[in-house]
Every structure is written in C-alpha cells, then in structure tokens.
Amino acid sequence: MNDIAHNLAQVRDKISAAAARCGRASEEVTLLAVSKTKPASAVAEAIDAGQRAFGENYVQEGVEKIQHFQQAGVSGLEWHFIGPLQSNKSRLVAEHFDWCHTVDRLRIASRLSEQRPATRAPLNVLIQINISDEQSKSGIALSELDELAAQLAELPGICLRGLMAIPAPEAEYERQFAVARQMAVAFEALKTRYSTVDTLSLGMTDDMCAAIAAGSTMVRIGTAIFGARDYTKK
Ligand SMILES: *Cc1c(COP(=O)(O)O)cnc(C)c1O
C-alpha cells in the first residue's frame, strides 16, 4: 500500500470510530479529500484507493485537475470548490465544479446560478458561516443566514445543500465541540425549512472528531491524507 492509500485507510477508520462513539453511522459522514497544492499524481493515488470526492481551494489549479481526469477518461469523481471565491472566477467554478462551499453573498450566488451550464445539474452550494467571527475570514454571521438562504433558494442554477465553516483553530476538544455544535444547531434548523439541505461541511485534520460528534456530515481532510503542503511552489 502506498502512503496515500495507507493514510486514507487511517482517516476512514478515524471517521468510523468517531461516528461510532456518538452512535452515528459512518456512512452519514462524507470524506472530502482536500488536494490543494498537490499534483494530479497524488489525486490519482487517492482515486486508486477508492476516493471519489476532492476539494480544491484555487480555481485554476482545480480546473486543471478536473480536466486532467476528464481527459484520462476517469468518471464518477466529484469536485468541490472550497476556497475564497472572487466574482471574476465564478464562471470557472460554475462550469467545472460540482459543489461550491464558500457562498457568502447573493451577488456571487446569482452569478454562479446564471453561469451554470444548462446541460449540467444545478451547482450544489453551501453557505459559509464565519462562526468564530474573525475579521480575516469570509462568511456571514448566523444572524444573516435566514435572509441569504431564502434568496439562494430562488436561484434556478444552484441547489442549496447546507452550511460550511472554518472555525478558528482551538487545541481543546471541548472548545472545538462547542463551536461545532453552534453550526449543527443552525444546520438542523435550516434542514427543517429546505428539503434540499442535507450537508454540514465541518471538520479538518485537527478538529475532525469534535465536528463529527457535533453532527458534521462532511469532513474536509488534506494533511492527514496527502501530507504537509508546500506553499513555496505556489
Ligand atoms: C486546506 C483546507 C482544508 C484541509 O485542511 P487540513 O488541515 O490539511 O486537513 C479544509 N478546508 C478548507 C477550507 C481548507 O482550505
């Protein structure tokens, strides 16, 4: 087994154990492999090990990988855009990705909806919440959620699937869990109002277990699968 296959197996075991501890089925939690900065060869190793859903933060880099695997005839992959989205890049996301996790304003959602090719299913979107109220982070406050969700639900080219957050790093499990619960409560409330809502994207390498215990349905894992990232090459 190569490193990536081995790491993936370990992450899957960790997800199953975390889910079992709180009485959830491991199938309730989707593993998104975050492949940003990693070469297509690393993604290919993950595909060989059975991984299908991948997350990318940089539009151009993501599109290159999507096209690489299309040209190689690999089907059944699911590509999630999880980075900050600028208006001038929305068309590439709408045309190439399956999901966008970082919608935080009507303007960008409208563009994604208009730019989504009619030949494709609506783009799955998550509303990003700035749950730790950090100035540097994108996302809306929970108090703004109802209004934005109602606006997004009207757009034909996108499908509102749920919420996403990147909480401020916390070393302690109890604190990670407390923040994750705030997200889970908002997610449960949204779910009762919109039948399309089924996804809470929450949890990374360092807070995955707390996120799953709190109710996350999708964890975004990079480092634990692909190893540390080297940003000097970007
Ligand atoms: C990079 C990134 C991840 C993965 O983080 P790791 O700590 O490497 O698991 C998850 N979500 C987002 C939004 C990211 O940018």
Give the dihedral of Cα atoms 101, 146, 121, 70; nearest 10 deg.
0
Residue of 56, 204, 219 to mutate, ligand 1, most atoms within 8 A of C-beta: 204
Nearest protein Cα to ligand 1, atom 12: 82
3-class SS of residue 233: helix
Ordered by start, the domain boundaries in the chain are 4-221
- Which two three-digit tokens encode residue 196? 């399309």
Contact 77, 98 (CB under 8 A): no
Tokens representing 74 are 């690999």
Fold of 4-221: TIM Barrel (3.20.20)
User: What pLDDT digit, counting tens, does each position of 83-127 carry?
Assistant: 999 999 999 999 999 999 999 999 999 999 999 999 999 999 999
Atom of ligand 1 nearest to the CA of 34: 4
Would the pLDDT of 180 be above 60?
yes
Residues written for the chain? 234
Residue 137: per-residue pLDDT: 82
pLDDT higher at 234 or 129: 129
Q: How far apart are CA 82 and CA 32, in angstroms?
A: 10
